[in-house]
Amino acid sequence: MSNPKIKITNLHKAFGRKVVLDGIDLEIAEGESLVVIGGSGTGKSVLIKCIQGILTPDKGSILVDDQEVVGVSEKEKELLHSKMGMLFQGGALFDSLSVWENVAFGLIENQNMERKAAKMEAIRVLRQVGLAPDVADLSPSELSGGMQKRVGLARAIATRPEIIFFDEPTTGLDPIMSDVINDLIIESVKGLGATALTITHDMASARKIADRIAMLYQGKIIWQGTVKEMDKTNNEYVRQFINGSSQGPIKVEV
C-alpha cells in the first residue's frame, strides 16, 4: 500500500486554556473521501485550518505527501496551498470581486492565466456546478445562500486541486439543495480524482459522500470506519450522534 496522502499524528491545539484538539491521529488515503463528523464546536473547522497551515498547532505532526506542514515557511505554505482547494463554512467569497473573478482567482493570480481565458474557464466551472453564465458578472452579495455555496465550490475546484476540503457544505440549505451539493461534491471529487476531507454534522450528506467516516469528540477521533460499519457499530457515542438523540454519553453543555 502506498503512503497516505495526509497523515496526522498526535495533533494538539488549544486556545488559551480551552483545549480544542487533544491528540488527533488520522490518515487519509490518496483519492479517498473522508468525512469527519462531530458536534458543534468540537473543533472540526480548527482541524481543517491546522492541516492547511492557517492555524499553527501546539504539538503534533501533519504530513501531506510525506512532507511536514507544521512550522514550514510562508513560501512552502503557498506551494502547499497550490495543491489544495477549500469550500468555506460561510462561503468566504470575496465581495469586492464579481462571481467569475472569485472562481478564477487562483487561475489568474497563481497560474497566470489570461483574464479572458480565465473567465471562459470560470464560466465552464460555474456551469459544472449548475450555475448559468449570466451569474458570472454578478456580485456574490446578490446571490442566495445555495448559489453562494455553489460558487464557493466552483472556486475550490477551479484550480483542479489534488486535495479538497469541504467545511459543512450543506449546512443551512434545504434538503433538496443539500443533495444537489452532495452530488456536485461527489462528481467533482471523482472527476478530478482528488482526495477529499469533508466536515459535517449532516448525516444524510455524510452517508452519501463518504468512503470512510471518522468521529471527533472531545478533541480526539473516537471512532472511524465505513458507512456500513457505522450502522452496525456498538459505539454509544456514534450511535447517539447518528440517531440525533439527546439521551446518551454525549452531554451537551447548555
Residues near another protein (CB under 8 A) = 49, 52-54, 74, 77-79, 81-82, 84-86, 88-96, 105-106, 109-110, 155, 159
Q: Give the x/- contact pattern for ligand ATP in 20-59, rule: CB under 6 A.
A: x-----------------x-xxxxxxx-------------
Q: Looking at the chain, which runs of residues are DSSP E strands?
A: 6-15, 18-28, 33-37, 59-64, 67-68, 84-87, 163-167, 195-200, 212-217, 220-225
- Mark the segment that binds Mg ion (CB under 5 A) among 61-69, 71-79, 81-89, 92-100: 81-89
* Closest to ligand ATP by CB, 28 or 215: 215
Residues 10-49 contacting Mg ion, CB under 5 A: 45
User: Nearest approach, Cβ of 234 to Mg ion (angstroms)?
Assistant: 28
**Residue 248 engages ligand ATP in binding (rule: CB under 6 A):** no
User: Residue 62's CB: how many other CB atoms inside 10 A?
Assistant: 22
* Closest to another protein by CB, 115 or 236: 115
CB 54 within 8 A of CB 69: no
Residues 115-154 contacting ligand ATP, CB under 6 A: none
Buried b (16+ CB within 10 A) or exposed e, 133-171: eebbeeebeebeebbbbbbbbbbbbbbbbbbbbbbbbbb
User: Nearest approach, Cβ of 198 to ligand ATP (angstroms)?
Assistant: 12
Q: Which residues bind to ligand ATP, rule: CB under 6 A?
A: 15, 20, 38, 40-46, 89, 201
